[in-house]
């Protein structure tokens, strides 16, 4: 059965990256504690691609923002659904779920679930 990945692209104000990192560390621990195989949060560095659509254009970043690319790996979509059901009930996430306190605008976050097509 192919592994499953939840992927995110999030424009984050650079001045809020430290707060985002703190939130992501807690989130990563929670997801891993509930069975996620891998949890990764990546901050944009080389974002001026001339051969493709650059992530800042895709994410419609504003001045002072960067792009965070994140993904969580699961055994399967069914496994993802079980893990996420437990994660959403975990009390460690409650303080992080208030949209007014998030270090980014959750309405601008892009998300999708993906079946692994090539997994080496």
Q: What is the mean pLDDT of the chain?
A: 95
DSSP for 31-87 reads HHHTT-SEEEEEE--S---SSS--HHHHTT--TTEEEEEEEEEESSHHHHHHHHHHH
Domains of the chain by residue range: 4-98
Note the pLDDT of residue 65. 97
The mean per-residue pLDDT over the stretch 74-92 comes to 97
Q: For 4-98, give the CATH class.
A: alpha beta
Confidence class for position 100, pLDDT limits 50, 70, 90: confident
pTM of the predicted model, to two decimals?
0.92
The mean per-residue pLDDT over the stretch 44-65 comes to 92
Can you tell me the distance from the alpha carbon of 5 to that of 112, in angstroms, rounded to the nearest whole number?
A: 8
Per-residue pLDDT tens digits for 19-42 = 999 999 999 999 999 999 999 999
Note the pLDDT of residue 97. 84
Confidence class for position 108, pLDDT limits 50, 70, 90: very high
Note the pLDDT of residue 17. 97
């Amino acid at each position: 059965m192919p592994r499953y990945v939840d992927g995110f692209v999030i424009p984050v104000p650079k001045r809020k990256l430290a707060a985002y990192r703190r939130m992501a560390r807690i989130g990563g621990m929670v997801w891993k504690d509930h069975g996620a195989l891998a949890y990764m949060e990546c901050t944009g560095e080389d974002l001026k691609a001339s051969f493709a659509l650059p992530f800042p254009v895709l994410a419609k970043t504003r001045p002072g923002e960067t792009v965070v690319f994140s993904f969580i790996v699961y055994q399967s979509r069914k496994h993802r659904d079980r893990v996420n059901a437990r994660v959403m009930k975990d009390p460690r996430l409650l303080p992080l779920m208030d949209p007014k306190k998030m270090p980014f605008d959750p309405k601008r976050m892009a998300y999708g679930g993906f079946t692994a097509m090539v997994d080496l």
